[in-house]
Homo-oligomer: A and B are copies of this chain.
Amino acid sequence: MTRILVVDDEPQIVRALAINLRARGYEVRTAATAAEALQQASAHQPEVVVLDLGLPDLDGTEVIAGIRGWSDVPILVLSGRSDSLDKVAALDAGADDYVTKPFGMEELLARLRAMLRRGGRVEEETPEVRLGEVSVDLAAHRVVRGEETVRLTPTEWHLLEVLLRNPGRLLSQRYLLEEVWGPGYETAQGNLRLYMGQLRRKLEPDPARPRFLVNEPGMGYRFEP
């Protein structure tokens, strides 16, 4: 099912959008603040984002930038201000479309369809990753080793997800910490080592000599496919 993330601080708008979208068969997640939006976006990997610019905690363009840093998901911006400069800023920040309130529901749905149509052409995803005898299903959040399934804690999963979405690339500790623990945790490197160890213990054939979750001293970590 197509996942949509709706971000707006006005509950009645969120409600109206959610009802209309669910009625058309979309799976809808909602967020009322920028922080919540960024978290939901990374956690649930929506296929399109509907974003209100007037959020209480952060400027809308910063939310766009925060998502564009790691994802190409189409973003449709919603705004009360019909100010033209606003549109320019949002679109240049990386948004894909712009609608001003009040908007017609039919028009919004048509624009969403257009975005999904366009975006759907690009991604051809295979959500199954193999690490030796272990297979990871990113979509189903499942890890299987031989016959039995492996249990991962939320933090372990989050870390693994970030690594697996960047196969072969070296990711700095700073980036990993910010991605998994959020901003402000850039110094908790002991933590990162700990969880990397846990993942290796659960996934690697020989945890003492890692083959897939590799460290480059002083640089960061890398998932070697």
Contact = CB atoms under 8 A, between A and B. Distances in A.
B139 A169 contact: yes
A141 B219 contact: yes
Contacts of A55: none
B140 A114 contact: no
A88 interface: yes
A74 B117 CA distance: 12
A168 B140 contact: yes
Interface string A103-119: 01011011101100110
A135 to B, nearest CB: 13
A215 to B, nearest CB: 11
How many copies altogether?
2
Q: By DSSP majority rule, is chain A's interface helix, strand, loop, or mixed?
A: mixed
Interface in A150-182: 151, 153-154, 157, 168-170
Contacts of A94: 114, 117
A88 B107 contact: yes
A216 B168 contact: no
Given A87-B107, A107-B88, A169 B140 contact: yes
B118 A106 contact: no
Given A74-B118, A141-B219, 7 more contacts: A72-B121, A88-B106, A92-B114, A94-B114, A97-B97, A153-B217, A154-B217
21 contacts: A72-B121, A74-B118, A84-B104, A88-B106, A91-B107, A91-B111, A91-B113, A91-B114, A92-B110, A96-B114, A96-B118, A97-B97, A97-B114, A140-B169, A141-B169, A141-B220, A141-B222, A151-B216, A153-B217, A154-B219, A157-B219
